[in-house]
A and B are shown apart, each in its own frame.
Chain A
Amino acid sequence: MRAGGVWQRLTEGVPARALAALAVLAALLLAAPVLSQLLPAGDYWLSILILMVYFAYIGQAWNIMMGFAGQLSLGHALYLGLGGYIAAALYANLGVGPWLGVFAAVCIAMLAGGLIGYLGFRFSVAGVYFALLTIAFAEFTRILFDHFKWVGASGGLFLKVEPEGSPFNLQGSPVLFYYVILVLAALAFVFCRWLLTGRLGYYWLAIREDPEAAQAAGINVFRYKMLAVLISSGLTALGGVWSAFYYKNLFPESAFSMGRSIEVTLAPIIGGLGTLVGPILGSALLVGLGDLFTTMAERLAEYGIKAGGLKQIGYGVALLLIVMFRREGVWPWLAHWLGFDRHRENQP
């Protein structure tokens, strides 16, 4: 397919105003490291932005499984953790650079995803039971890594800070990490749009809506669910590699934790399951709110008021409000309000 065809496929049915808004957003994000330096505490704002883009990226990867294909995974920490651990251990223990290690990391995460998918889909473990299976695998792996000496077991795995390190080893300033995750998020966004507008996307939506009717319409449900898990786990592992090199430390207790898995799901749920903008918007809202609550707690502490759990409570309340009033997430509502969904009537 020629470039023109690809562009047409990606943009068909998207209003010009939405494309323009996307272009402005892209330009702002590209210029953000420069712009942030104009602000007081610019490095801080950049670190917040990095988190937003990171959660948007892994949210996008998780959304492929849940939002597109309708398969609930509550164990995505497994792929993040595996990806991070493998690339970091290869680098720290064997000196294999991350640009090479990432292939091993992604392959192994996809193998794990493939195994879980095979067990779940082959034996018709569906819905919440499938979710339990994903949790179980993340938990097994956590315990396994707790005793895995080569990667530091429960003591953790650390990457040295290399001030003179080369970007080719994913060493450098936050600006480098910002651009790497931004490129990943942008590629994931375009890739997901590409998938959704093709056969695969249509089949996933059919499976999400009604697997039995999908099968009657000629869809090999097992095969397309497997593809969803494989793509989702592979993309998530990429995020895991980035995160391992950004934070430079990994502990089984946190890397494979339930909390980490839940974290992955929040942005797309809040932004809008199954939408492309949902994970981005949800992540901006969540990280933004989280930062707001943290700042508020700090201010309150100055007056001697202890409000340590404010962020968690704030998250809880925000989630509650979304679940109660914006069931389908913020983006479908916002898109309707902005008039970006005119090609489709009856959109709530």
Chain B
Amino acid sequence: MSGAHLAVRNIGKSFRGLRAVNDVAFDVPAGAIHALIGPNGAGKTTCFNMIAGVYPPDGGTILLDEHSIAGLRPDQICAAGVGRTFQIVRPFMGLTVEENVTIGALAHCRHVPEARALARELLEELGLGDRRTARAASLTLPDRKRLEVARALATRPRLLLLDEVMAGLRPTETDQMVAFLKELNARTGVTILLIEHVMRAVMALSQHIVVLHHGEKIAEGRPEDVTRDPAVLDVYLGQEVH
């Protein structure tokens, strides 16, 4: 398994006249970890949803390793190698933790026992091994976030889209998640694009940051440069970001 190159070329999306995303373009090279940041309502999740196929972009193209995925259904995009988590977590609440991840693994496993074995492995790695027979609904929020990551990873993605998986986690839990994602990236080479508000995690993880504001890209570059960019500081409530 290796990472895929994501190329987003001038995509846009309007909802009833409201321009949520306007002419946004960026690249995430294979095996890289990039972050998408910006204030609430900047269009980050809309970008994610277009990449993941929840809705097609109004214009522009999205390429995964030079193949266009814009306008495909979410399940087709998943099959093409994109795994995602949801900002507001959506595990299958009535099912057990193991069943949740098994469903993801069935995307490429021929038989259920094989998928289940893979699910157990992933749950161990994410520290959910002892919760595997619990219903997802009984998990705490941080555990639900971990479960979403496990389910997305079970589909064997080459590009992983993480929508605020650190939000609501305690600092130690954030550090654990950061360490896990770093190790995962180093071991498998999976490309990671994350939306994140927790700057501690963004700074620790990403090699490159894209900043959105009012649906437009206002800056991008190395984390240390972006956080000193006057335009970025301005939109972030006029405060300096750390």
Pair A198/B112 contact, Cβ less than 8 Å: yes
**Given A206-B103, A209-B92, A217-B103, A345 and B75 touching (CB < 8 A)?**
no
CB-CB nearest in chain A for B79: A218
Report which of A209, A221, A343 forms a contact with B95, defined as CB distance below 8 A.
A209
A144 to B4, CA, bound (A): 56
A140 to B129, CA, bound (A): 53
CB-CB nearest in chain B for A201: B112
Q: Which residues of B contact A205 (CB under 8 A)?
A: 92, 94-95, 99, 103
Pair B92/A199 contact, Cβ less than 8 Å: no
Q: Which residues of A contact B111 (CB under 8 A)?
A: 199
A343 to B107, CA, bound (A): 25
Pair A209/B75 contact, Cβ less than 8 Å: no
The answer to the question of B91 belonging to the interface, with a C-beta cut-off of 8 Å to chain A, is yes
Q: Which residues of A contact B14 (CB under 8 A)?
A: none
The answer to the question of B138 belonging to the interface, with a C-beta cut-off of 8 Å to chain A, is yes
Pair A217/B90 contact, Cβ less than 8 Å: no
The answer to the question of B106 belonging to the interface, with a C-beta cut-off of 8 Å to chain A, is yes
Q: Which residues of B contact A57 (CB under 8 A)?
A: none
The answer to the question of B145 belonging to the interface, with a C-beta cut-off of 8 Å to chain A, is no
The answer to the question of B134 belonging to the interface, with a C-beta cut-off of 8 Å to chain A, is yes
Q: Which residues of A contact B87 (CB under 8 A)?
A: none
Pair B75/A215 contact, Cβ less than 8 Å: yes
How many A-B pairs fall under 8 Å by CB? 84
Q: Which residues of B contact A210 (CB under 8 A)?
A: 90, 92-93
Pair A216/B84 contact, Cβ less than 8 Å: yes
Nearest CB in chain A: distance from B4 CB, A:
15
Pair A221/B133 contact, Cβ less than 8 Å: no
Q: Which residues of A contact B47 (CB under 8 A)?
A: none
Pair B52/A214 contact, Cβ less than 8 Å: no
The total of chain B residues at the interface (CB under 8 A) is: 34
The answer to the question of A93 belonging to the interface, with a C-beta cut-off of 8 Å to chain B, is no
CB-CB nearest in chain B for A12: B113
Pair B74/A215 contact, Cβ less than 8 Å: yes
Pair A344/B103 contact, Cβ less than 8 Å: no
The answer to the question of B135 belonging to the interface, with a C-beta cut-off of 8 Å to chain A, is yes
CB-CB nearest in chain B for A206: B103
A214 to B107, CA, bound (A): 11
Nearest CB in chain B: distance from A203 CB, A:
7
Pair A218/B155 contact, Cβ less than 8 Å: yes
Q: Which residues of B contact A345 (CB under 8 A)?
A: 133-135
Residues in A lying within 8 Å of B, measured CB to CB: 9, 197-199, 202-203, 205-206, 208-210, 212-221, 343-347
Residues in B lying within 8 Å of A, measured CB to CB: 52, 54, 73-75, 78-79, 84, 86, 90-96, 99, 102-104, 106-107, 111-112, 115, 133-135, 137-138, 151-152, 154-155
27 contacts between A and B (CB under 8 A): A199-B111, A202-B112, A205-B95, A209-B92, A210-B92, A213-B86, A213-B91, A214-B92, A215-B73, A215-B74, A216-B84, A217-B75, A217-B104, A217-B107, A217-B152, A218-B78, A218-B104, A218-B107, A219-B75, A219-B103, A219-B107, A221-B75, A344-B96, A344-B133, A345-B134, A346-B134, A346-B138
